Structure 1
């Protein structure tokens, strides 16, 4: 059973929704256009990885990138959730990594193929322990960092999201429906880069939670 921890309590995970190109500077660094609506892709629950496990890079890629993101856990699902009610459906917040086989993604995009092989390999969805939503005042006023081997690689400010978390929740609920236990990876800021064997990654959602992984 795929699960995450909300405090010390395990929570079974349903869907893993990810939002792409949600920070303008990140879209620009990869030469991508800014979208007019949230760009959504999915990861399988088998891609979940907690801090007890090493990151194992897929053998079919030579260019796996880190993408550090705010992660939200849906505690109460629903359809057609209004933006003004959306945050009441969140049970917890954490910090995570949307690992991406960039070379594989580039090849898939050039052929018009889906990205699943690039985004859904085992261990491609790293998630910290989650803190209760009640402990987070405004999810659009958070900052987070990713350091690799002690060097700052990414700094995120959720106030710079192109689509706020409330907008993401409303959109996902309208198109797909949301279920208890769904996770939302809310998008990564600029600074994505390759990781290699031996790298140590340290993530921090300032004032709330930190997490770390080592690459096997």
Structure 2
């Protein structure tokens, strides 16, 4: 299946921030009224068992586990009740964040593209066809660092559902085959260091592992 190789041809990674209430609380933010959207370039991809590189000048790299939605059909300005037709499959993923660089950029009112979009900032597991996850709106996702559980959440706790996110994003960006939407992270984000091993998963359905260089 060509879609299983989405990291090789997908044109964009569209990320959603602050989509779990407890994560909003831990980040000391107010609840969003519309999805918070930012982008990563395709050069951010790392596949299962690859290495995550700490970006230059970063002293505080954080893990954020997320369910990724792989787009299987092109669409623009899609209605929410039609949004699931665009889904080709799913993947467990990480939105790696250079937290110190992000905080510095935010405090000075500057964009934080480097903090979120640096090379290797989007590690992903193996592609899961849509049919294998019939209820993606109620999935356990988790993250371990060196064998210790750091994050555990369920997609049912999202502030904005997957169909809502697809519909909203498609009003502004044409979604193309192979694009990836990261749907937000639950609470428990935290730092990682060189030689740490990060494991992420969807229940016991799928998991992936990465080493911090």
What range describes the TM-score normalised by the shorter chain of this pair? Answer: over 0.9
- Is the CA contact 1:5–1:11 (under 8 Å) kept in the aligned structure 2? no
Q: Is this contact kept in 1: 2:3–2:88, CA < 8 A?
A: no
Q: In the alignment, what sits opposite 2:99?
A: 102
Secondary structure at 2:69 match in 1: strand
Between the aligned partners of 2:51 and 2:8, the Cα distance in structure 1 is 21
Q: What does residue 90 of structure 1 align with? A: 87
Given that 2:76 and 2:174 are in contact with CA atoms closer than 8 Å, whether structure 1 keeps it comes out as yes
Q: Distance in 2 between matches of 1:102 and 1:69?
A: 17
Aligned residues: 212
SS in 2 for 1:175: coil
SS in 2 for 1:137: coil
Q: CA offset at residue 9 of structure 1?
A: 8.1
Q: CA deviation at 1:11?
A: 5.5
Consecutive unaligned residues in structure 2, runs of 5 or more: none
Query: Which residue of 6, 11, 15 maps to 1:14?
Result: 11
Q: Which residue of 2 aligns with 1:78?
A: 75
**Which of 187, 191, 201 is equivalent to 1:190?**
187
Relative to the length of structure 2, the TM-score reads 0.95
How far off is 1:59 after superposition? 2.4
Q: Which residue matches 2:134?
A: 137
Distance 2:155 2:33 in 1: 18
Distance 1:104 1:83 in 2: 35
Q: Tell me if the contact between 1:204 and 1:211 (Cα under 8 Å) persists in the aligned partners.
A: yes
Aligned partner of 1:25 among 17, 22, 27: 22
Q: Distance in 2 between matches of 1:113 and 1:142?
A: 35
Length-normalised TM-score, structure 1? 0.94
- Residues 153-191 of structure 1: CA distance to partner in whole angstroms, max 9, x if unpaired? 000100000000100000011122211111000000000
Contact 2:74-2:176 within 8 A present in 1 as well: yes
* Match status 1:35 vs 2:66: no
User: Aligned match of 1:57 in 45, 54, 57?
Assistant: 54
**Cα-to-partner distance string for 1:83-129 (whole Å, 9 max, x where unaligned):** 11111211111101000000110011111111101001110011111
The whole-number CA distance in structure 2 between the counterparts of 1:120 and 1:57 is 12
CA distance in 1 between partners of 2:32 and 2:47 (Å):
31
Structure 1: where are the runs of 5+ without partners?
A: none
